[in-house]
Amino acid sequence: MRSADWDSRDLGDEEHTRVLFTEVDMTEATSAAAVFTECVFRGVRFNVSSHADSAFLNCTFVRCSFFDATFTGCKLVGSRFDDCSHDLMKVGGGDWSFTGLPGADLRRADFADVRLREADLTGARLAGAPVRRCDLSGAWLHKADLSGCDLRGSVLPPLDPATVELRGAVVDPAQAVALVTALGLEVRS
């Protein structure tokens, strides 16, 4: 699929398997229960699009734009993002486990109630972003910038302040105890 205009298209419950989408305009497109399996998206514009209960399984996104895109209850398990822009992207619920976002600029993205188990966030920039009530168990956060990030209610992997920027991050009391314990300190009342 090359240079197609899917602007404002209702993708409904369409299914696409192993399709290469190049320079497709999906601005303001909507999907409900659509399934994309092992697809590659190159230079696709997902701007202001809205996806609910849809799946992008083991897909690859290269130089795609997700400006103000919304993903609600979507499954992106095993998908990879390379050199994409995520400004004002909103992710609510869903499963993004094993997703690769290394080096991604997510400072203006919003994640809430998302399963991000074993996601690759190596070097990701999340400074100031809300990442509330997310499951980050086993996530790779080496060299990630979580400064000023709102992490309350999220399940965090062991964090090493020598390899993860945490200055100003907002955590709840249980997370604070886990972080202090991970540093080898002993918490007593």
pLDDT in tens, 46-86: 999 999 999 999 999 999 999 999 999 999 999 999 999 99
pLDDT tens profile 148-161: 999 999 999 888 87
Q: What's the CATH fold of domain 96-182?
A: Pectate Lyase C-like (2.160.20)
Cross-strand bridge partners of residue 35? 15, 55
pLDDT computed for residue 39 by the predictor: 98
Cα R_g (the chain), whole angstroms:
17
pLDDT interval class at 1 (50, 70, 90): confident
pLDDT computed for residue 85 by the predictor: 97
What tokens does 172 get? Answer: 């709840």
CA distance 103 to 123: 4
Going by the DSSP 8-state scheme, the letter that residue 111 receives in this structure is E
Task: Give the residue among 14, 55, 10, 12 at the shortest CA–CA distance from 32.
Answer: 12
Residue 116 has a pLDDT of 97
Q: How many CB atoms lie within 10 A of CB 157?
A: 16
Domains 1-89 and 96-182 share a fold: yes
pLDDT at site 7:
86
Q: Which CATH class is domain 1-89?
A: mainly beta
Mean pLDDT of 167-185: 87
Model-level pTM?
Answer: 0.91
Q: Say which residue the tokens 């895109």 belong to.
A: 69
Question: If you count DSSP H runs as helices and E runs as strands, how many of each does the chain have, helices first?
Answer: 1, 13
- Residue ranges covered by each domain of the chain: 1-89, 96-182
pLDDT score of 162:
81
Is 114 within 8 Å of 93 (Cβ atoms)?
A: yes
The pLDDT of residue 187: 79
pLDDT at 182 over 80: no
Terminal C-alpha separation, the chain: 62
Beta strands in 9-151 (DSSP E): 15-17, 20-22, 30-32, 35-37, 40-42, 50-52, 55-57, 60-62, 70-72, 80-82, 90-92, 110-112, 131-132
